[in-house]
Amino acid sequence: MDNGDPLEPETKEESDTVSARQSSDETLYCEAEAPMAVEKEKPARESSETDLEIEDTEKFFTTRQRELYLEACRLVGVVPVSYFIRNMEESYVNLNHHGLGPRGTKAIAIALVSNTTVLTLELADNCITEEGILSLVEMLQENYYLQEMNISDNDLGLEGARILSEFLQNNTSSLFTLQLSGNNFKEEAAELFCQALSTNYRIKSLDLSHNQFSDKAGEYLGQMLALNVGLQSLDLSWNHLYIQGVVALCSGLRANVSLKKLDLSMNSFGNEGAAALGEVLRLNNSLAYLDLSSNNINNEGLSKISKGLELNESLKVLKLYLNPLSMDGAVLLILSIKRNPKSKMEDIDISNVLVSEQFVKILDGVCAVHPQLDVMYKAVQGLSNKKNLFTWTSPVKLIQSYADQHKISVLDFFRSLNPSGETTMPVGEFRKAMIQQNKVPINRYQVRELIKKLGEKTDMVDFRTHSSSPRLQNPAGLQAGP
């Protein structure tokens, strides 16, 4: 080899080492400027064109990760990131806001080619540009361990979208979560992504929020959703889909069988878009989470959504926060749940809507049919005070008192609620079990507080925090589960 190995051991004479490094550095820069780093006709692992490939495989895998990264930094001319050096053997690496630039990103990518420990990589807000994206794509063609990557807020634009879409079309990596928020993607970028995802189903979670997708992008996304059977979570919040974009999106969503989570908040599609989504809810039985916050939906649009909910058998979470709704619309919404005996709804967020005692009585009747349901609303002042009277007793104290009287641990009490006897339980099932049990008198407001303490953010409650003691260490409140 004329130029020498980029990772030449330092046991050779200093003059030879310096010469090898200078030659390798020139090679890295030269190849990084090439428009296509990998020949399409060759499988990714057989290509010899990538500047991330190390020719001597044995040396590549025996060189320690730290030394490899430091060598890469010397080759591309950047200062090593101390955080990465300390955490490169961890499963989670957060390099957001580190000012890496394209060369710093290349050094990280070189070090990760053979890395087998990093599963999640955060690279948001690093000005990585198209050159940095090329380095990451080349790394992913060799790394079969990285599963989640965040490259949001890097202003990648159309060229970055083109590089990523070409990678996605031939994706053989283990990557299944990709965050691309805030990258100035427009209609053309949406078309590229949708072409790639219409045939490649490896990506399970995709974040395209805070971009500039409009009507035409909604059409492309709808076409993709009609074909894709792998994507499970899609975030399109803070775009400009408006009415036509969401209506087009819904055309494909009606036929989709895999998507479980969809965020359409902050898209200003109003009642017409809500009507299209109501039709989706009537036909689609895969969506479990739908965020429609701040979309200028009033009672008219909510009535269309409610019609769909009367037949829906999959949706568990519906967020309608910051829409101009009144109590009349809220009543229509919860009555649609009551009329659907197969509804799985667990959480509804209308927390900007003022309600009355009449609404609460109606909700009590709905919860009697669907005890797993919790509705977040903004109560009128008098009702809020009354609710506080009901909930002043800590639910933890009530449970601890019952456990003491029956000489059992609090953990045993919680596990008795779970038919499987496990120490973890889905939030909806736990709420239903707590409301239906007759051992400890507790209302749904107290159950809500209890869920917050036991791990609401993970969609699971976890009792294991207290498994080491038969009594709670802090009777005033529970620690959040891991």
Domains of the chain and CATH, by start: 66-379 (3.80.10.10), 395-462 (1.10.238)
| Residue 44 pLDDT greater than 90, yes or no | no
Q: How confident is the model at residue 394 (pLDDT cuts 50, 70, 90)?
A: confident
Distances (CA, A) of 249 to 106, 266, 442: 36, 15, 43
Q: How confident is the model at residue 458 (pLDDT cuts 50, 70, 90)?
A: confident
**In the chain, what percentage of residues exceed pLDDT 90?**
71
| Residue 287 pLDDT greater than 50, yes or no | yes
pLDDT in tens, 119-156: 999 999 999 999 999 999 999 999 999 999 999 999 99
pLDDT at 143: 96
**In the chain, what percentage of residues exceed pLDDT 70?**
80
* Ramachandran sector of residue 375 (left: φ over 0; alpha: ψ -120 to 50; beta: rest): beta
Phi, psi of 449 (to 5 degrees): -65, -40
Give the least confident one: 56-70, 194-208, 324-338, 356-370.
56-70
CA–CA separation, 74 vs 69, rounded Å? 9
Comparing 199 with 58, the larger pLDDT belongs to 199
For residue 249, give the amino acid letter.
L
pLDDT at 469: 39
pLDDT at 387: 52
Residue 263 pairs in a beta bridge with 235, 291
pLDDT at 182: 97
pLDDT at 8: 40
Is the Cβ–Cβ distance between 353 and 327 less than 8 Å?
A: yes
Is the Cβ–Cβ distance between 321 and 294 less than 8 Å?
A: yes
Which one, of 333, 308, 337, 312, lies nearest residue 323 by Cα? 333
pLDDT at 452: 85
> What's the token pair of residue 220?
């492309």
| 3-class secondary-structure state, position 425 | strand
Comparing 41 with 156, the larger pLDDT belongs to 156
| Residue 18 pLDDT greater than 80, yes or no | no
| Residue 468 pLDDT greater than 50, yes or no | no
| Residue 173 pLDDT greater than 60, yes or no | yes
Q: What is the mean pLDDT of residues 276-299?
A: 97
Q: How many CB atoms lie within 10 A of CB 61?
A: 11
Comparing 33 with 216, the larger pLDDT belongs to 216
pLDDT in tens, 203-254: 999 999 999 999 999 999 999 999 999 999 999 999 999 999 999 999 999 9
pLDDT at 396: 87
Q: How confident is the model at residue 480 (pLDDT cuts 50, 70, 90)?
A: very low
pLDDT at 283: 94
pTM value? 0.82
Q: What is the mean pLDDT of residues 16-25?
A: 41
Q: What is the mean pLDDT of residues 316-344?
A: 97
CA–CA separation, 264 vs 282, rounded Å? 18
Comparing 379 with 6, the larger pLDDT belongs to 379
pLDDT in tens, 413-446: 999 999 988 889 999 999 999 999 999 999 988 9
Alpha helices (H) in 341-461, listed in sequence order: 357-369, 381-391, 395-405, 410-417, 427-436, 444-454
CA atoms within 13 A on the CB side of 475: 11
Is the Cβ–Cβ distance between 331 and 353 less than 8 Å?
A: no
pLDDT in tens, 77-99: 999 999 999 999 999 999 999 99
Is the Cβ–Cβ distance between 194 and 163 less than 8 Å?
A: no
Q: What is the mean pLDDT of residues 473-478?
A: 38
